[in-house]
Amino acid sequence: MINIMFDHPDFVVIDKPTGVSVHKDDQAVSFVAKLQQQLNEPQLFLVHRLDKITSGLLILAKKTTANGLLSSTFQQRKIEKYYIALTDKRPSKKQGLVKGDMVRSRRGTWKLQRSAENPAISHFFSYGCEKGLRLFLIKPYTGKTHQIRVALKSLGSPIIGDKRYYPTPDETIDRGYLHAFALQFYYQDQLIQLHCMPNTGRLFTLESIQQQLSQLSKPWLLNWPKV
């Protein structure tokens, strides 16, 4: 069963599990079709997407009108998204902006360029935690493919468990440690504010991580710069 975080007559916000593709891929029944069955909804529309490794908050519209309205809100960058990620590598800077054009690289990966013609833009804060771990809180202002994964790799801090950007033979790593943590947006003059703690991943359960996440449950209150 998929955890439902917010149920509105026009849309639903779920906690997408890690390791699940929102596309049909090779699945006999797509993720969206399974969710339709669970909610007894005749049709659901993906308003946005999360990578397969990413867990957390995902919006699906129940109606075509709601899909158009929410999709337009996304395109206008009026839906604030906040992600968390874990790394075991020290970043080149502990907070700030990552900005640059993204270009295709080898084997389905992307890389960040210094140019800024149509840049991916992300702001982040990071926090030192136990056992050499660092927790990132990231607010992307754009929605490019693999944007956060590439941004953190460009800082020298690839995400633990991201097999595409940080391959490692360590068999104790149980997931990709990227999670869609919070959302803030207006829908028909109603303010929607949601946050979702990760519910899988051994490292996410560490006490220092849990304590830091509890302090970040309202990330929209932090001093994010305007872009």
Check: CB of residue 130 under 8 Å from CB of residue 146: no
Q: Which residue has the tokens 């519209």?
A: 61
Check: CB of residue 70 under 8 Å from CB of residue 8: no
**Cα 161 from Cα 201, distance rounded (Å):** 10
Strands in 101-177 per DSSP E: 102-104, 110-112, 120-128, 134-140
**Cα 223 from Cα 225, distance rounded (Å):** 6
Check: CB of residue 166 under 8 Å from CB of residue 157: no
Q: What is the DSSP letter of 214?
A: H
Catalytic residues, which ones? 51
Taking the CA atoms of residue 11, residue 137, residue 218 and residue 20 in that order, the dihedral angle to the nearest 10 degrees is: 30
Check: CB of residue 168 under 8 Å from CB of residue 174: no
